[in-house]
Chains A and B, each alone.
Chain A
Amino acid sequence: MRRGTEGAQGPGDGGGNLMLSAWRNLTAQQRRDAKTGYLALSPWMVGFVVFYAFPIIATIYFSFNEWTLAEPPTWVGLDNYVRMFTRDPLFVSSLKATTLFVIISLPTKLVLGLMLALLLNLKIPGMNAFRTIFFIPAVISGVAVSLMWIWFLNPDTGVVNTLLSYFGIRGPLWFWDLHWALPSVAIMSIWKVGGAAIIYLAGLQNIPAHLYEAAEIDGASKWSRFWRITLPLLTPTLFFQLIIELIDAFKIFTEAYVITHGGPLKATYFFLYYFYEEAFRNANMGYASALALFLLVVIMGCTVFVVRTSKGWVYYEN
């Protein structure tokens, strides 16, 4: 047994003693390395505490308060949560719109992103140009994209309806149609699939070529190679994409803010837009904090669920 560990493992010893004794057990070189490591980590840790941990803790506190910014917060206990779950129709509307958006956009984006990545993985001339073109939408500002789509989907003069009219199809009112508003926002979101495709592409290029060669020698069809090699080996990337896209979908806001203002008839009244209205238009910071926490819990719950189920479908080669 090494020096100092005996006492640390004894009954009643705190974590502090354990850490202290672990520190004492390090050699001088190890201590220097550890200090360097903590020093290197410190900017991130400071950032995390100041910009994430503290605001989250403050949000938890404010969610139990009524706060209009100009006056000090007033403790109201669970009132904000009671209102949210029992007598707030807008909470229900916003949750419904957001869930519907997640259900439409998430699987579509995952599947289309994969299909696009498979195409971008082909070895044809000019592929780098194609990759760049498909990636561009992912890096354009959300507001600029929104303004562009307002023009694209204008019912009378927009590109889409004009093209449809050539085939004798009268296009819908898109963002200004009760039934088409949410799908229109989903289409906009899906248009940015190039970002996901690039991640898939990186995953695809990590799959060892010899596996395909062996399968080809064994006479496996392209379809069989996709199902038995590509897809299983791509599941870690798929898992990553699923979590990122899931969080992203729940955070839909810009399109509602810039284009639809939550309408028509609350079809695009997304959760974050509701949060924004409560916080910054209705001066209701306490309730907005409760809404923000609820969204955090929902996203966290979905993420935990995905992570838990991942053991059954994500394949790690090692």
Chain B
Amino acid sequence: MNNAFFKKALTLASLFVLLLCSMGGVAAQDTVTLTWWTTSGRDSPEPAIRNVIAAFEAEHPNIKVDVSIMAEGAYNDLMSTAIAAGEGVPDLAWYWSNNWLPQALDITDRLDNDPDISRDIFHTEYFNNWVVWNDMVIALPYDIGANFVMYNKDVFDDEGVPYPTADWTPEDYIEIAKALRNEDKRRWGGDRPRGPFRALWRNMGATNPYSDDSTTVEGYINGPESVAAYTWLWDLVDSGATPTPADLEVLGTEGTGPVDLFIAGRLGMATLNPGSMVSTLEAGVNFGVVPEPRVPGNENWVHGWALRAGIWKNSEHPDEAWEFLKFWNGPPGQRILMEQGLGHFPPIPSLLAEYEDADTDWFQGFLNVLDATQTASWRKDHPCWRGAVIRGVRDAWDLIMLGEIERDEVQATLDAMVEPGQAALDECVPRLGG
């Protein structure tokens, strides 16, 4: 009897264990955990990130998101290392380095066949320039930004200078800067551009540092439009109405431009970005936004950008990752971030219209800037422009910034840049293409 009882007990125990195992198996199969690396900042504070994830998990109980929030430097190091190793890349990540794009999953078909989301909801320029790569959609855009000129209305009123308008010219910029300069108040009129062949250069007709087919810098670096743009820079430096590089290094804010000087009223105008608008608002400064100046007749350009979140091409859970990606980058996630973050500007025009300051002058000025043609439309297919070619010809920039050459030496200086610029282009194109 004891033996029979023992057998029954063993059978029941085995069945119970099997049942438990099978239940565990069902649970393990149904719940997928996605890894997600991100950074946080004013525009995407950690609580808002976690709120988006909580909202997503509430809608998708079988998908968990294991988020790692880290500093930007650590993020770059970890992503570069994981991508170089070809393993350990999270299911979802920011692909903000062009160099990482080959590792992002092509989501073209998913996007085009998903009834919940469409590429049409995104700002066309930002979508095409930032998440389309080699004719594939490799990410979804998030939090757009752009450079524009912010002007301090109180400083303008103080000096009796009319506010700039969207159709102003580079010459207007210098004249206004000179009019705003006030030595008694230790105030400069406007800041200096941060590099050549950005939006301002294009607005002056100097579109590219080298040809579209990436074969030559001759006639581009030293072409008449480029000479005119560099000469304009010479005039601006010579005007004395702008801070020197030394002043900007000391008083500027690393990576974001001289927003502190602007807020302090020591710069009448500054080329800044959306993050600066938020800081300026917080400081209670009365400001306006206009595009960078442009020579009449030229196209209106803007240096704009969007972050891009994508799925790793070797992710084991691409379907679940797509569900999260379209939530995070689609209206549900970006609305939460816009409402809870500080200065999060979604690349979704219908959402931007809901922004709390949407009817203000500065916000309308910002929207106006977003509609300009993006410099990225050329740059994304020409990866050698900055790291290689602009670095190769930086001496011309330095010489003007330091006041080391005369105005009539600009052409000769740029002619001398052709050789190093061409060498840099020839070295880079076979490696990075374009």
Contact = CB atoms under 8 A, between A and B. Distances in A.
- What is the predominant secondary structure among interface residues of chain A facing chain B? loop
Nearest to A263: B398
- What is the predominant secondary structure among interface residues of chain B facing chain A? helix
Contact of B402 (A176, A266, A282, A284): A176
A175 B246 CA distance: 8
Interface string A251-290: 0000000010001111000000000010011111100000
Contact residue range for chain B?
20 to 34
Interface stretch (B33-41, B100-108, B158-166, B233-241): B100-108
Given A150-B249, A173-B246, A266-B395, A70 B102 contact: yes
Contact of A263 (B80, B387, B394): B394
B237 to A, nearest CB: 13
B388 interface: yes
A70 B100 contact: yes
A194 interface: no
A264 B402 contact: yes
Nearest to B84: A69
Interface string B208-249: 000000000000000000000000000000000000111101
B74 to A, nearest CB: 14
Interface string A74-100: 000000000100011110000000000
Contacts of A176: 244-246, 249, 402
B399 interface: yes
Interface in A281-304: 281-285
Most buried by B among A178, A277, A282: A282
- List the 5 closest pairs (A to B, CB-CB), nearest first: A282-B387, A176-B246, A70-B102, A264-B398, A283-B99
A317 interface: no
B80 A89 contact: no
A68 interface: yes
A224 to B, nearest CB: 49
Given A66-B431, A87-B423, A283-B432, A151 B100 contact: no
Interface in B75-98: 80, 83-84
A71 B102 contact: yes
B184 interface: no
B214 to A, nearest CB: 16
A69 B76 CA distance: 13
Contacts of A263: 394, 398
A315 to B, nearest CB: 46
A154 B102 CA distance: 44
A155 interface: yes
Contacts of A285: 84
Given A178-B402, A266-B395, A277-B391, A70 B103 contact: yes
B404 A178 contact: yes
Contact of A265 (B80, B245, B250, B398): B398
A277 B246 contact: no
Interface of A: 66, 68-71, 83, 87-90, 150-151, 154-158, 173-178, 259, 263-266, 277, 280-285
Contacts, number: 80
Nearest to A173: B246
Interface in B375-434: 387-388, 391-392, 394-395, 398-399, 401-402, 404, 420, 423, 427-428, 431-432
Contacts of B402: 173, 176-178, 264-265
A309 to B, nearest CB: 39
Contacts of B247: 154, 156
Most buried by B among A83, A178, A283, A284: A283
A154 B84 contact: no
Contact of B250 (A69, A90, A150): A150
Given A69-B84, A70-B102, A284 B431 contact: yes
A174 B244 CA distance: 13
A176 B102 CA distance: 40
Nearest to A83: B427
A90 to B, nearest CB: 8
Nearest to A157: B250
Contact of B387 (A66, A70, A178, A283): A283
B80 A156 contact: no
Nearest to A285: B84
B80 A69 contact: yes
Given A154-B246, A173-B246, A175-B246, A282 B388 contact: yes
A155 B423 contact: no
A66 B430 CA distance: 10
Given A69-B80, A155-B244, A264-B402, A281 B387 contact: yes
10 contacts: A71-B102, A87-B427, A88-B423, A150-B250, A155-B246, A156-B247, A176-B249, A176-B402, A266-B394, A285-B84
Nearest to B76: A280
A277 B398 CA distance: 18
B82 to A, nearest CB: 10
B106 to A, nearest CB: 15
A158 B392 CA distance: 32
B249 A259 contact: yes
Contacts of A154: 246-247, 250
Contacts of B398: 263-265
